[in-house]
Amino acid sequence: MKLKKLPNSTIIRLSLYSRYLTEVDRKELTLISSLDIAKGIGVNPASVRKDLSYCGDFGTKGVGYNVKDLRNHVIKILGLNSEWNVTLVGLGNLGLALSTYKGFQERGFVINRIFDTDSSKIGSISNGIQVFPAEQMVDILREKPSDIGIICVPMSVAQATADALVKSGIKAILNFAPVSLKVPPEVSLRNVDLAVNLEILTFNLSIEELTDSLIARSF
Amino acid sequence: MKLKKLPNSTIIRLSLYSRYLTEVDRKELTLISSLDIAKGIGVNPASVRKDLSYCGDFGTKGVGYNVKDLRNHVIKILGLNSEWNVTLVGLGNLGLALSTYKGFQERGFVINRIFDTDSSKIGSISNGIQVFPAEQMVDILREKPSDIGIICVPMSVAQATADALVKSGIKAILNFAPVSLKVPPEVSLRNVDLAVNLEILTFNLSIEELTDSLIARSF
DNA sequence: TAGATTGTTAATCGATTAACAATC
DNA sequence: TAGATTGTTAATCGATTAACAATC
pLDDT band at A215 (very low <50, low <70, confident <90, very high): very low
Residue A60: φ, ψ to 5°:
-120, 125
Binning chain A into helix, strand and coil, the percentages to the nearest 5 are 50, 20, 30
Which residues on chain A are in Cβ contact (under 8 Å) with B78? 199, 202-203, 206
DSSP state of B67: H
If you average pLDDT over residues B9-32, what whole number do you get?
97
Choose the mutation target among B203, B209, B217, B218 for the interface with A, i.e. most A CBs under 10 Å: B203
CA distance A199 to chain B (A): 6
Q: How do strand A84-89 and strand A64-66 relate by DSSP bridges?
A: unpaired
Q: What is the pLDDT of residues B130-141, one digit of tens each?
A: 999 999 999 999
Rounded to 10°, the helix B194-205/B207-218 angle is: 70
Which residues on chain A are in Cβ contact (under 8 Å) with B147? 202, 205
Return the closest-CA partner of residue B174 out of B185, B157, B197, B158.
B158
Q: By the 8 A CB rule, do A140 and B198 touch? A: no
Q: What pLDDT sits at residue A70?
A: 97
CA dist B207 → B210, B212, B213, B214 (Å)? 5, 9, 10, 10
Closest nucleotide to the alpha carbon of A52, via C1': D7
Which residues on chain A are in Cβ contact (under 8 Å) with B42? 180, 182
State how far the Cα of A132 lies from the Cα of A124, in Å rounded to an integer: 9
If you average pLDDT over residues A160-186, what whole number do you get?
97
State how far the Cα of A69 lies from the Cα of A58, in Å rounded to an integer: 8
Mean pLDDT of chain B: 92
pLDDT band at A217 (very low <50, low <70, confident <90, very high): very low
Q: What pLDDT sits at residue B2?
A: 45
Nearest to B148 among A97, A98, A201 (CB): A201
**For the whole model, what pTM was predicted?**
0.93
Closest nucleotide to the alpha carbon of B60, via C1': C6
Closest residue in B to A195 (Cα–Cα): B104
